[in-house]
Amino acid sequence: MYDQIGIWVAAFFTLAIYSFLYKENPVYRFAEHAVVGISLGYSMVYVYNTVLEPRLLEPLFVRGQIALLPVLLLGLLYITRFFRSVSWLSRYPIAVVFGMAMGLSFPRTMLSMVLRQAEATVIPIYQSGYAWHDVLGSLVIIIGTLTALIYFFFSKPHKGWFFGTGSRIGIWIIMIAFGATFGFTVMGRISLLIGRVQFLLTDWLHVIQ
Amino acid sequence: MTIWDRLFNIDRRWIFLLMGVVTVVPFFFKMGLPVITTEEVEGIYNHVDSLDHDNAVMIGFDYQPGTMAENQPMSEAVMRHCFARKIPVFITAFWPLGNGLAEQAITTLTDPAKPGTFQRVRYNEWREYDYGDEELPDRVTHAELVELWERDHELREDAMGWVFEGVDYVLLGYAPLFHIVLLGMGRSITSQYPSDLYGNPTEDMPIVKRNKSAREVDMGLTVSGSSTVLSWLTYARESYGMPIAFGVTAVSATDYLVYIQSGQILGQMGGLRGAAEYEVMLERDDYAVEMGRAFMGMDVQSIVHVLIVILVVLGNIAYFAGGYHRKGRRLKAGR
């Protein structure tokens, strides 16, 4: 029975959100605010039950793991944001989180996002056993990377055979990438619509299997 | 007003209506248009297919309900593949709402009302069961547990097999600052997740005893509607070499194709189409008795794409034929 209530509620909210396509209306507004509020409330309770209580409060106050006390105090400093005279204290936990995240991510991000990507452009154009489309693929990767980088080099005017032609090829490469992204975006949006229509026709109305 | 002017001033709600009709109608007339598999998805499928009960897979439900239509079929397809091949699965979540979606995926794959699903046995159910004279091995395997369990229990006729919580899968759930959790799991899974989502201690679970850290996991699949996939690449792959695969929404699919070319990821499922490809391979190899929801949506996807192409072509014809490309005859914004 609870499942059925859940399905009807979900169907109502789906239709309420899609009613925006006709025009903005109070039902849409209600659904929009309900989604934001419920998501936030759900997340807060979930985080308390699955993180704060079992990982901090229970070990600290029940099992006496006092090593967690500084963590609790640091976390509590976030609340000082609500009091103007001491709100500067909230910068400390933020600084700790940012500093830690930066320190942990910087070398790994450089490795995975920059060096490995740069490495992937240093490839042979031709090797024995390569088909013509492999050679073409290699050329597109090398020329595409270089010309797109030339397009974003603004310290020289985009004139002449190197900077002028290079940046023109670069903008074509970028436009083709945008076109591919737009195509995928259309596909993604349609997929979301398909998901909702499938839900309405299958779980709610039971008109298809 | 010329026909081209009328075309440009058409109320956009007619197009929405047309789109709605074209989306609904094909569900009643299944055409079964073929879905051709691509190398990106085959890369993931073949890797999972090469694993068995001695390996392990970690699946990150790193999305929220907003992208569920695209991401959920991917998660379910790979989980089905793992369950069918008895590959232990660790399930995590980058966001709190991912927990509910993971639970829903398990419920769908073990729904007794559907054919070709699995029969789930909860952790406390098999752990606290009285096996008589037999003693439950500390690191009990799926095969050993099935042998003990089937003495008193019968597998549902249309089920594809048993799935034991704590042996075949564990729902670890959400943990804050997940990139640090990924790093920590490289040392020990229990240090980051002392208990599973339901409060069961993970150190007692055979799945954790057999795979103590994420270093022993043979594939990490992050299914996401955002850039959280990069956390797995940066922290799990670069730190301890976990092979990574992506399941991403179509919108972000092109952003991550470069990681396939560079060899940093095994493959990628992009949008509903990616999930449909995986479903095709599952059905082909008898891991599923019928196609899933992603494949069902592909007919609609194709027809709607044709409609969009027609509208784009029509719009361009009207633009040039109506002389809007000439100076002094510009289109008004926000029609």
pLDDT in tens, B54-102: 999 999 999 999 999 999 999 999 999 999 999 999 999 999 999 999 9
- At B335, is the pLDDT very low, low, confident or very high (cuts 50, 70, 90)? very low
Does residue B190 have a pLDDT over 60? yes
Q: Backbone phi, then psi, for B158, in 5-degree steps?
A: -95, 10
The answer to whether residues B297 and B271 touch, using CB atoms and an 8 Å cutoff, is no
> Beta strand B162-164 with B169-174: parallel, antiparallel or unpaired?
unpaired
Closest-CA distance of chain B to residue A187, Å: 6
pTM here is: 0.91
What are the tokens at A77? 């400093």
> Beta strand B89-93 with B119-121: parallel, antiparallel or unpaired?
unpaired
| Dihedral, CA of residue B73, residue B79, residue B83 and residue B87, to nearest 10 | 160
Instruction: Give per-residue pLDDT as tens, A125-158.
Output: 888 889 999 999 999 999 999 999 999 999 989 9
Average pLDDT of the residues in B91-115: 94
- At B328, is the pLDDT very low, low, confident or very high (cuts 50, 70, 90)? low
- At B322, is the pLDDT very low, low, confident or very high (cuts 50, 70, 90)? confident
Predicted-complex ipTM score: 0.87
Q: Per the CB < 8 Å rule, is A201 touching B99?
A: no
Chain B contact present for A197, CB below 8 A = yes
- At B331, is the pLDDT very low, low, confident or very high (cuts 50, 70, 90)? low
For residue A69, what are the contacts with CB-CB under 8 A and spacing of at least 6? A60
Residues of chain B with Cβ-Cβ distance to A184 below 8 Å are 250-251, 253-254, 270-271
Q: Backbone phi, then psi, for A45, in 5-degree steps?
A: -65, -40
Residues of chain B with Cβ-Cβ distance to A43 below 8 Å are 95-97
Q: Rounded distance, CA B28 to CA A140, Å?
A: 43
pLDDT reported for residue A62: 96
Q: Which uninterrupted H or E stretch holds A98?
A: helix A91-109
Q: Rounded distance, CA B27 to CA B24, Å?
A: 6
| Residue in A closest to B291 by C-alpha | A209
Residues of chain B with Cβ-Cβ distance to A21 below 8 Å are 13, 16
Instruction: Give per-residue pLDDT as tens, A75-127.
Output: 999 999 999 999 999 999 999 999 998 999 999 999 999 999 999 988 888 88
